[in-house]
Amino acid sequence: MNPKPLTPPAAGSRLLMSGNEAVARAVWEAGVRVAAAYPGTPSTEILENLAFYPDLYTEWSVNEKVSLEVALGASLTGARSFCAMKHVGMNVASDALMTMTLTGVVGGLVIAIADDVGFSSSQNEQDSRFWGRFAHLPILEPADSQEAYEMTLAAFALSEKFSTPVILRLTTRICHVKCLVTIGAREAKRAADGFTKDPARWVMVPSNAQKRLPGVFAREKALTEESAASALNRLEPGSDRRVGFVTSGPAYMHVREAFPDAPVLKLGFSYPVPMNKIRELADQVDTLVVVEETEQLLETEIHAVGIQARGKDLLPTAGEMPPFVLKKHLAALFPELSNAAAETAAPLSSALPVFPRPPTMCAACPHLGVYYTLSQLRNVNIMGDIGCYTLGAGHPWRALDTTICMGASMGMALGMDKGRGPDDEKKNIVAVIGDSTFLHMGMQGLLDIAYNRGNVTVLLLDNRTVGMTGGQENPATGRDIYGEEAPRVDLAKVVESLGIAPEHIHVVDPYLLPVLFKTLREEVKYNGPSVIITNRPCVLTGYYEALKPYEVEASLCTGCGNCVDVGCPAIHVTRREKVIKPSGKEVELAFVDIETTACTGCGLCLQPCAPKAIRHAVPTATIHVVPASGEKL
């Protein structure tokens, strides 16, 4: 469905908005013409919301580097542009970023980077404030949704004033927590003037780049003066002068809640660092404490200029800094905070035990059959990747051996093949990757496997969506961000064009376990590169069509447990029973039931069921209510 058009809420409205929604509104109000991103939690909803606004172009790019280059290209025409990504996305986009710092921009360009503080949905916990230092770019850090809105607008003005990209550093708490936001009107921006040719600025060969470098440091000096005078950096007085706090982002809210009487320097324009204001606060208090999520970055810089401060010697080096954490770890500076008081500040635990719910795949997920099949293979090393299918490392399959970053399954599989020792010679190597991840960063790895004749079997799981981040479109789905039809990549043709022999490219229905098992077993025996593409859509997308559900005939169930090994959450173990086999070996039987309201009839559990105890569910009778008129409703 096409999300456009939308009638935006009127200027002056006060709305309950998440940080992501607030940033999207501000981007639209700033008169942005082009916005690009690759989906990644916690930043995904920025572009999803922006796609509903009229009068600008938005796109899901194939990866973060491309999205940033799209934004830069738009900026060169004089148009304002915007780019969003999660923290690990900047690792991908940094190649473009580190040269953009030399070229600068024309139209305002803002880059929202969402740090996943606390590992809510990421493979690492990075601190994107480092990118400002590394690339000599300004950083703005909002503390709530209202500030996310206001600072996005301020970032565009700052970008154009200094002809520089501006980083808007968000965190999971800012992105997803909602508060009231007062919004304004869309700024009427002039039409883009068009690209002005200037090879000395835009062609970054070494001779040109060298001449641009002094301007970077001159700009940073000017930005330092701007930060020192900025109203976004606010020194808030307090009556308790024992401890003063320097902080930014959501940590500011936690400090204010935990120590309401303490002086606080809130850094909204956090880089370049306004050292003048930090010195001013340090002179007013007995002890200066730096509260930052997550790295000991600002504290190190404060020490470097000779200001005494405490920080990570008292506070945790990872995760969020909620009030109970601050009180617990800073109790030594506040004698009235006894250990008991600090402990009671922690969130109350549930009085009742909560049934454990480890993350798992959905009922009828097309990846279930893949991992069930992989779990049946022996002498296989399985390189995983980033996506829903990373859950294959968990129970009951335990069918992934590595997961590092987007696209890493390919290169790691090739490296393992080329570096195997005597103990690994009999091990077959399989790489597992999803359709969106393959297009994001996996194609180069497969090209490397083909070019270097790696003995690797690739399972390319095409579920027609970016499943892990909520079901966004990508070039393999056949639709764009607006839900409109778009060219759909033929993954089999792409794979062949990258050098895989056609006879070793297979498109397989992952619900057909015997076919999948036979194909996988044959290809891992082949001494060379091969690719197996699965072709069932994600069950949570509009592409999926549910079938008639199944149920268990209790009188036929022998407790073999084969269906449980498929890992479908619609299958429940109703009882377990230990028996002694004729051989004398003790085994545990698992008798099961199927939740028919969750079952979509994929038939995966039916195939390994030894006693054939699974059958189509008998439909319940439909009750028709007949009104007095005699007509059916």
pLDDT at residue 627, rounded to an integer: 47
Average pLDDT rounded to a whole number, residues 286-308? 95
Q: Average model confidence (pLDDT) for the chain? A: 91
150-177: per-residue pLDDT in tens? 999 999 999 999 999 999 999 999 999 9
The CATH 3.30.70 domain(s) of the chain lie at 550-616
- Tokens matching residue 583: 């051989």
The CATH 3.40.50.920 domain(s) of the chain lie at 236-336
14-190+212-229: CATH topology:
Rossmann fold (3.40.50)
> Of residues 468 and 47, which shows the higher confidence score?
47
DSSP 151: H
366-534: CATH topology:
Rossmann fold (3.40.50)
pLDDT at residue 633, rounded to an integer: 32
What is the SS3 assignment for 615? strand
120-133: per-residue pLDDT in tens? 888 888 999 999 99
Q: How far apart are CA 507 and CA 476, in angstroms?
A: 14
**Which residue, chain included where needed, has tokens 């990846």?**
367
Burial label for 357, CB within 10 Å (0-12, 13-18, 19+), is exposed
550-616: CATH topology:
Alpha-Beta Plaits (3.30.70)
Q: Measuring CA to CA, how many Å separate 447 from each of 3, 91, 388, 411, 484?
A: 36, 21, 24, 10, 31
Most confident of 264-278, 461-475, 609-623: 264-278
The CATH 3.40.50.970 domain(s) of the chain lie at 14-190+212-229, 366-534
Average pLDDT rounded to a whole number, residues 449-461? 96
Average pLDDT rounded to a whole number, residues 2-22? 87
> 554-557, long-range: CB within 8 Å, 24+ apart, which pairs?
554/591, 554/593, 554/613, 556/611, 556/612, 556/613, 557/591, 557/592, 557/611, 557/613
- Biggest alpha carbon distance in the chain? 89
Q: Quick one: pLDDT band at residue 435, thresholds 50, 70, 90?
A: very high
Q: Quick check: 248 pLDDT over 80? A: yes
236-336: CATH topology:
Rossmann fold (3.40.50)
Looking at the chain, the whole-number percentage of residues with pLDDT higher than 90 is 82
pLDDT at residue 625, rounded to an integer: 46
- Whole-prediction pTM value? 0.89
Q: How far apart are CA 433 and CA 385, in angstroms?
A: 6
pLDDT at residue 629, rounded to an integer: 44
Q: How far apart are CA 550 and CA 593, in angstroms?
A: 10
Looking at the chain, the whole-number percentage of residues with pLDDT higher than 70 is 93
| Contacts of 296 by beta carbon, 8 Å cutoff, 6+ apart | 311, 312, 317
Amino acid at position 532, single letter: I
